[in-house]
Structure 1
Amino acid sequence: MSEITQEQVAHLASLARIALTPQEIESLTTELSSIVDNVATVAEVATADVPATSHPIPLQNVYRADVPGTTLTPEQALAGAPDHDGSRFRVTAILGEEQ
């Protein structure tokens, strides 16, 4: 069993700029130790004759064919807009005058 110390967890939290309470540090110490142990167990089982995989089931392209379909006309698209200039949506400016 690998031992993760509370000091290591506090140091990692400090590096990540995460404020943790003493209770959270104690809880995370236990959880991280368990995670490291589980990774070590998997590493023991994985041998050179087991091929590495990124997914247990072979994947295939799930995208549909890119076929043009029926689209809205500009008038239909702008019909529900709160404000437009006849050909474009009009929105409140969020940039300064320099744009």
Structure 2
Amino acid sequence: MAITETEVRKVAHLARLAMPDEYIDAYTKNLSNILDLVAQMEAVDTDGVAPMAHPLDMVQRLRADVVTETNQRDYYQGIAPETEDGLYLVPKVLE
């Protein structure tokens, strides 16, 4: 699928891209090549191919979800300068 210079200028304008005239020809060729590749990929028969999120069928190894620390909330609340109803009270910084 070929794209014209007029279409490249129009797309550049819609995308608000400043496109110097000396780059128009190169961009036209590159975009035409990209559209040709997409057309080739669309022509491939994918019937019977299961969709997948990743080309490698792997499972991520995860560690066991085990509690490794004890609850020390009361200790930290006890050494805090000021607390109220389980919340830390801090000085006001904005008026």
Q: Normalising by structure 2, report the TM-score.
A: 0.58
- RMSD of Structure 2 on Structure 1 (CA): 2.6
Q: Which aligned runs of 4 or more in structure 1 are off by greater than 4 angstroms? A: 62-69
What residue is the counterpart of 2:82 in the other structure? none
Taking only the aligned residue pairs, the percentage that are identical comes to 36
Report the Cα distance in structure 2 between the residues aligned to 1:62 and 1:18, rounded to whole angstroms: 44
What residue is the counterpart of 1:21 in the other structure? 20
Q: CA deviation digits over 1:44-93, x for unaligned, max 9?
A: 11422222223211243366678779xxxxxxxxxxxxxxxxxxxxxxxx
- Indicate the structure (1 or 2) with the bigger Cα radius of gyration: 2
Report the Cα distance in structure 2 between the residues aligned to 1:60 and 1:44, rounded to whole angstroms: 32
Task: Give, in angstroms, the shift of residue 37 of structure 1.
Answer: 0.7
Report the Cα distance in structure 2 between the residues aligned to 1:45 and 1:34, rounded to whole angstroms: 17
Structure 1 residues without counterparts, runs of 5 or longer:
70-97
What residue is the counterpart of 1:48 in the other structure? 47
* Matched residue count: 70
Q: Please show how residues 1-99 of structure 1 align to structure 2 within 5 Å.
A: 2-61=1-60
Report the Cα distance in structure 2 between the residues aligned to 1:48 and 1:28, rounded to whole angstroms: 34
Structure 2 residues without counterparts, runs of 5 or longer:
70-93
Task: Give, in angstroms, the shift of residue 27 of structure 1.
Answer: 0.8
Q: Normalising by structure 1, report the TM-score.
A: 0.56
